[in-house]
């Protein structure tokens, strides 16, 4: 899914658009699988009991309600949060937007960026993700975690910054 064009200025082009690393969704997927298995086993057990049909239906509704609440809160909400988090590099700025019900974000013009760093430990390297640190002229460094292929993003951003500045230090 590309980043919405309506937030871009005239003649501004997206160079890179990323959501956080997919690894952020693994706990939500595990919760979905475990909760569904547990609800199925419990419903199957209740079905084998010699209860009245009305009592069984009430228990089934309670199981379904608990399942929906757990899945909504611990699986669907993290997915929607992931889906609505955007790290975007354009030919003019770096944008970070996040939030589902209330959105927030930050824009950093490329000309204001002083340095770009990245960090990633052994596990991060195995999953090809990391933290991107951007230091701008007017703010404390900003850290963006769980950036997929952080080394590539770092290199791309570095080149965009120096291409924008037209600096003599610009890499060839």
> pTM of whole model > 0.75?
yes
Q: What is the pLDDT of residues 104-158, one digit of tens each?
A: 999 999 989 989 999 999 999 999 999 999 998 777 899 999 999 999 999 999 9
How many whole angstroms separate alpha carbon 172 and alpha carbon 169?
A: 9
pLDDT of residue 168: 45
Residue 170 has pLDDT above 90, yes or no: no
pLDDT tops 70 at residue 3: no
Architecture label for domain 12-19+87-165: Roll (2.30)
Q: 90: buried, middle or exposed (CB in 10 Å: 19+, 13-18, 0-12)?
A: buried
Give the domain ranges of the chain: 12-19+87-165, 25-81
CA 112 to chain centre: 25
Give me the mean pLDDT over the 82-92 stretch.
94
């Amino acid at each position: 899914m590309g980043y919405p064009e309506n937030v871009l200025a005239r003649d501004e082009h997206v160079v890179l658009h990323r959501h956080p690393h997919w690894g952020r969704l693994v706990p939500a997927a595990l919760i979905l699988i475990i909760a569904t298995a547990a609800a199925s086993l419990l419903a199957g057990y209740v079905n084998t009991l010699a209860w009245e049909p009305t009592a069984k239906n009430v228990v089934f509704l309670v199981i379904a309600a608990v399942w929906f609440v757990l899945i909504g809160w611990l699986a669907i909400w993290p997915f929607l949060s992931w889906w609505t988090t955007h790290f975007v590099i354009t030919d003019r700025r770096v944008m970070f937007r996040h939030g589902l019900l209330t959105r927030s974000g930050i824009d950093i013009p490329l000309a204001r960026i002083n340095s770009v760093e990245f960090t990633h430990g052994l596990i991060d390297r195995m999953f090809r993700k990391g933290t991107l640190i951007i230091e701008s002229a007017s703010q404390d460094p900003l850290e963006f975690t769980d950036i997929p292929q952080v080394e590539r993003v770092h290199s791309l951003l570095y080149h965009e910054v120096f291409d924008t500045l037209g600096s003599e230090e610009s890499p060839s």
